[in-house]
Amino acid sequence: MINEPKPKQCPFLGEMVVIYCQAYPVRKPIPKHPMTASNPCMGGGYRTCPFFKDDMDAEYESAAENREAADH
């Protein structure tokens, strides 16, 4: 009915904004909050990430193949 009390949520249930890496083979949520600001993914350190390097290598190879195909 209209005046029925709402069911209570678990007191340990919380919400947070998460991010994920598109290059990683499994989508794994990474909490995004001030404590993770030092995370290498959030700054220039991402360039040393092996997943980033693999993704960039694949894009470079694809672009090179496209240029080679266009030249012929």
Alpha-carbon distance of 63 to 70, in angstroms, equals: 11
Q: What is the pLDDT at residue 50?
A: 79
Partner residues linked to 29 by β-bridges: none
Three-state DSSP at 19 gives strand
Confidence of residue 22 (pLDDT cuts 50, 70, 90): confident
Residue of higher predicted confidence among 44 and 39: 44
